[in-house]
Amino acid sequence: MSAHEERKKLQERLQLERRNLPVFQAKSQILEAVEKNQFLVLVGETGSGKTTQIPQFLHHSRLYTNVISQDKAQHRSARHDKRMMIAVVQPRRVAAINVANRVSQEMGCTVGSYVGYSVRFEEKYRMGTTAIKYLTGGMLLREAQLDPMLSDYSIVILDEAHERTAQFDILLGLLKSIASLRPLKLIVMSATIEAEKFAHYLNNCDIFFVGGRQHPVTTFYSVLPQTDIIDATVTTILQLHVDKPAPSLLHEESKTRRSGDIIAFLTGQEEIEEAIFEITSRAKERMIRIESDSHVEGDELATVPLAHSDDISLSLELLPLYAALPFDRQQRVFEVSSDLHTRRVIICTNIAEASVTVPGVSYVVDCGFSKMKYYIPGSSIEVLQAKPISKDSALQRAGRAGREGPGECFRLYPETEFSKLTQHTIPEIVRVSLTSLFLTMKSIGIEDIYSFDFIDMPSLSSLEKAESSLLSLGALERPPPSKKASLMNPVHPITTVTSPLGQAMSILPIEPHYALSVVVSPLFDCQSEILDIVAMLCSENLFVVKHGKESSDDQDHEQGYAAFSSERLKKQFDFDQNKNEGSQDGSDHLLLQRIYQAYTSSASRSVKWCRVRGLNKRSLDRAVRIREQLARYSLQVDKIVHSETTTDQSPEIHSLKHETAKEKRAKPSPDTSFWSPLPSEFVNVTTPSSERILKCLLCGLYMNTATLIPGKKNEYQTSSSSMPISIHPSSSLAAAALEKEKMMKREQFKERQASRKGVDYSSPFLLNMGSVYPEALMFSELVATKKLYLRTCSGINPEWVDIVRTINLSDCLREFSHH
């Protein structure tokens, strides 16, 4: 078959599939409903074609142009012949990219032309050409910072709205208010849950129901609660594989519909990879053949040699699916397999709960948990922890089995547990830190956040906490008295405005505390190094983690994190934890920088180079790309910081997207020429560079600090919470402590030997040693497994924190730019 014929065949198949989707039948009614209403809530089962089809319907309809011409009439002079776009907002990167690819395929164009996408650090669209743009909520919010009316769009679709991410809630309010000012159409698409609530919020708008085609799903519960969900998942998958009939093809007309595959929901990447490792090793014992994963590069995934057995009738193919998985590996999950000798097992996070449709699934294994971000009560620290899901989620998960035929769902918890679950998932906005969103809202121009029309009002205390932490970071400041006395709003007078520092921070698409460090890095003469570190922190899965059968937190030293033994660090990255000048007892942040440097200056940048060092090449390459982008952004940051204009920043920021200048790598200037307005006892020409880097990071992270509890070995407390927290074994600090302990034992042994011989010897090492773990540290991440762990941390001098608290970085920055 020629390439042309092949394309034609694919198009025919795609068009046939499209016509069979439930939304296709309702096309004209949907278009009519959109035409009649400015707001519309559209409800339909996952897989009915909402995400992929509705934007295409709108694009091909007259309606889309109608809206444009209406808009033109109103803003005649401003934007004359600008083509407007349809924005389809997704809660996840994966879904945005995946769907944009699919829709381009259906429309017979390349992704980035008529159909494009935009997610953090990655975009493919062309202004003037792209008509349908899939993007994440975060990206649309960023666009709103540049253009608060979102005037590039005639229609915005908020997809998977039931997921209720905090960004969605804000967009919802923002879009509602934009719609009262110009004829923007807003469509909220969601699974059945929450539809009424959205409609009520959007001035009691209509709800359009798309008839689904959900087949019955039988649900089974485990008799007893499970203590080890990974083990239970693995056991269930293997049992299903042995018990259930081989996959088969359904639906004669399209030879692709399939049944008999398994989807299992777990909480996160580590759990998923551990489960895959487990299945692979147990399958060997049970003579089950595992398809080797030829697409895997490096050793991210256990690729155990095939267990050859006589029974080759049905093998298992294990497919992970999580947000950080490289794109081409994610793609494999969506491919329809016609191989009936292989049962596919997709092991995924919440991604596949509603946002993406995985074909062929008849069996669902639901562990009953998902990872969620939430506050540690009484503190300002956020933690990611596995929590029981809601009933809505459980039903949604079960629904994955009934897409193409009757299915079965296996819940790894008793029915009594199910009945105790909350009905709805708690919206993110009421359980996470709002610091970042608060700043975003301020930079969009939403001045009074306390009276913003939220669909669910976050607690007053979490808003206040966000505001006060931005104030203390210097991103917000109190305006002069004239502006303060706001008669317009007597309830909540506007008491804070974005400072130039805050404006500069909001340009950077990263967490405020890292953004702050990037913005203030010139004060510490370490711009380049901070960019290295932040890029590394933004890229996930830098280290290859190997799972062992009896892997427990305590054994992780030996098991997976051998990459961190001091010997290896010294040899491979010329990095000595204990001798690193400036750092107090080791630093993961400095290690990240060292690795970045080693990688980018290694001639080959090869897979082998990475494998030997226990690193993921893909993640490092991603870090390199992220750094390039951050560097471009920070050129803009510099401009803002240096320009006096603090009121109208948009032209500055606007040129951001078109910035092409190659980054001029900040050359480490000789120490003698370095001047900083910071207190000279804090930073001066003699401060070693590693210490300056840590101090710069601390400016952003100073609320993420912890001190060793007196008398404890590895137990820390933060200023805002008394719960004990430990350094995670994956930290290089843990490895350094281990080393120190060994050294200590050797020295003690020497002392004992000496005293036995009657020699007077006291080890200088033991005299100067202090505690094995650092007295104080700052951390990037807090994770909760069996207990609370700090991940990616650096030892600091506790006195630094007190100094950082007193510095007004906004003023320093002003002074610096005048110098």
Q: How many residues bind ligand CDP (CB under 6 A)?
A: 16
Closer of 51 and 506 to Mg ion (Cβ) = 51
Q: Counting contacts by CB under 6 A, is residue 407 touching ligand CDP?
A: no
What residues pair up with 316 in beta bridges, in sequence order? 290, 343
Which residue from 31, 39, 43, 44 is in contact with ligand CDP, where contact means CB under 6 A? 44
The Cα 656–Cα 650 span in angstroms is 10
Cβ count near 393 (within 10 Å) = 25
Closest contact distance (angstroms) between CB of 260 and Mg ion is 24
Establish if 593 lies at the interface with ligand CDP (CB under 6 A): no
Cα Rg for the chain, rounded, in angstroms? 28
Which residue, 261 or 691, is less far from ligand CDP as judged by CB? 261
d(CA 497, CA 441): 11
End-to-end CA distance of the chain, in Å?
69
CA atoms of 101 and 88, how far apart (whole Å)? 13
Beta carbon of residue 336, minimum distance to ligand CDP (angstroms, whole number): 7
Minimum gap (Å) between residue 717 Cβ and ligand CDP: 46
The answer to the question of residue 51 lying near Mg ion (CB under 5 A) is yes
Stretch that binds ligand CDP, among 46-54, 388-396, 673-681, 808-816 (CB under 6 A): 46-54
- b/e for 712-727, b at 16 or more Cβ within 10 A? eebbbebeebebebbb
Which of Mg ion, ligand CDP, none lies near 794, with the C-beta cut-off 5 to 8 A by kind?
none
**Can you say how many angstroms the Cα of residue 367 is from the centroid of all Cα atoms in its chain?**
22
Query: Whose CA is closest to 158, among 130, 131, 127, 195?
Result: 195
Q: How far is the CB of 103 from ligand CDP (least distance, A)?
A: 8
Nearer to ligand CDP, 332 or 570 (CB): 332
Contact 568, 582 (CB under 8 A): no
Binding mask of the shown chain, residues 325 to 364, with x at each position contacting ligand CDP by CB under 6 A: ---------x----------------------x-x-----
Residues in contact with Mg ion, counted by CB under 5 A, come to a total of 2
Three-state SS at 679 = coil
**Per-residue H/E/C for 270-316:** HHHHHHHHHHHHHHHHCCCCECCCCCCCCCCCCCCCCCCCCCCCCEE
Residue at 641: amino acid letter: V
Q: Provide, rounded to whole angstroms, the least separation between the CB of residue 111 and Mg ion.
A: 18
Q: Which does 330 bind (CB under 5 to 8 A by kind): Mg ion, ligand CDP, none?
A: none
- Residue 53 or 705: which CB sits closer to ligand CDP? 53
Q: Does 528 bind ligand CDP (CB under 6 A)?
A: no
Can residue 705 be called a binding residue for ligand CDP (CB under 6 A)?
no
Q: Is 449 helix (H, G, I), strand (E, B) or coil?
A: helix
- Backbone φ/ψ region at 451: left (φ over 0), alpha (ψ -120 to 50), beta: alpha
The nearest distance, CB 360 to Mg ion, in angstroms, is 18
Separation of alpha carbons 128 and 79, rounded Å: 12
Q: Which stretch binds Mg ion (CB under 5 A): 46-54, 144-152, 196-204, 701-709?
A: 46-54
Find the helix or strand (DSSP H, E) in which 755 lies: helix 732-756
Q: Amino acid identity, residue 339?
A: D
- Work out what residue 797 binds among ligand CDP, Mg ion, none; the CB cut-off runs from 5 to 8 Å by kind: none
Contact partner at residue 334 from Mg ion, ligand CDP, none, CB < 5 to 8 Å by partner kind:
ligand CDP
Q: Mention every residue, 6+ apart, whose C-beta is less than 8 A from residue 24.
A: 18, 49, 53
> Which segment (45-53, 321-329, 432-440, 443-451) binds Mg ion by CB under 5 A?
45-53
By the rule CB under 6 A, 52 interacts with ligand CDP: yes
CB of 334 to ligand CDP, least distance (A): 5
Residues 6+ apart with CB under 8 A from 317: 290, 291, 293, 337, 342, 343, 344, 345
Q: Which is nearer to ligand CDP, 194 or 529 (CB)?
A: 194
Nearer to ligand CDP, 49 or 247 (CB): 49
Q: From the list Mg ion, ligand CDP, none, which binds 47 (C-beta under 5 to 8 Å, kind-based)?
A: ligand CDP
Q: Which is nearer to Mg ion, 55 or 586 (CB)?
A: 55
Q: Quick one: which H or E segment has residue 650?
A: helix 650-654
Q: Is 378 within 8 Å of 279 (Cβ atoms)?
A: no
Which region among 51-59, 263-271, 449-457, 583-591 touches Mg ion (by CB under 5 A)?
A: 51-59
Residue 48 contact, options ligand CDP, Mg ion, none, Cβ 5-8 Å cut-off depending on partner type:
ligand CDP
Residue showing the smallest CB distance to Mg ion in the complex: 51
Least Å distance between CB 86 and ligand CDP? 14
- Count of beta carbons in the 10 Å neighbourhood of residue 543: 15
Do the Cβ atoms of 37 and 188 come closer than 8 Å?
A: no
Place of tokens 């059968």: 549
Q: How far apart are CA 307 and CA 157, in angstroms?
A: 48
Sign of the alpha-carbon torsion through 143, 145, 150, 155: positive
Scanning 48-56, 171-179, 304-312, 728-736 for contacts with ligand CDP by CB under 6 A, the matching segment is 48-56
CB of 199 to ligand CDP, least distance (A): 18
Pairing of strands 407-411, 705-708: unpaired
> In Å, what is the CA distance from 441 to each residue of 184, 449, 496?
20, 7, 12
AA letter at 378: G
Contact range with ligand CDP by CB under 6 A, out of 44-52, 196-204, 485-493, 720-728: 44-52
Residue that the structure tokens 């070693």 belong to? 688
Q: How far is CA 234 from CA 259, 273, 344, in A?
A: 20, 11, 14
By a kind-dependent CB cut-off of 5 to 8 A, residue 703 interacts, out of Mg ion, ligand CDP, none, with: none
49 is a site residue for ligand CDP (CB under 6 A): yes
> Any contact of residue 56 with ligand CDP (CB under 6 A)?
no
Site string for ligand CDP, 141-180 (x = CB under 6 A): ----------------------------------------
The 10 Å Cβ neighbour count of residue 19 is 9
Residue 33 interacting partner from ligand CDP, Mg ion, none (CB closer than 5 to 8 Å by kind): none
Nearest to 187 by CA among 161, 210, 150, 149: 161
Phi, psi of 362 (to 5 degrees): -115, -20
Report the site for ligand CDP in 76-105 (rule: CB under 6 A).
98-99, 102
Minimum CB separation of residue 354 from ligand CDP in Å reads 7
- Compute the least distance from the CB of residue 6 to ligand CDP, in Å: 18
Using the contact rule CB under 5 A, the part of the chain among 6-14, 44-52, 572-580, 644-652 near Mg ion is 44-52
351 or 801: CB nearest Mg ion? 351
Sign of the alpha-carbon torsion through 647, 651, 657, 658: negative
Q: How far is it, in rounded angstroms, from Cα 765 to Cα 472? A: 40
Under rule CB under 6 A, residue 21 binds ligand CDP: yes
Q: How far is the CB of 30 from ligand CDP (least distance, A)?
A: 12
Nearer to ligand CDP, 392 or 511 (CB): 392
| Least distance from ligand CDP to the Cβ atom of residue 45, Å | 7
- The span from the CA of 370 to the CA of 701, in Å, is 27
Query: What, of Mg ion, ligand CDP, none, does residue 52 touch, CB below 5 to 8 Å by kind?
Result: ligand CDP
Separation CA 717–CA 481 (nearest Å): 39
The entry of Mg ion, ligand CDP, none that residue 436 binds, CB within 5 to 8 Å by partner kind: none
**Considering beta carbons, is residue 48 or 269 the nearer one to ligand CDP?**
48
Q: Please give the residue ranges that form the binding site for Mg ion (CB under 5 A).
A: 50-51
Q: Please give the residue ranges that form the binding site for ligand CDP (CB under 6 A).
A: 21, 44, 46-53, 98-99, 102, 334, 357, 359
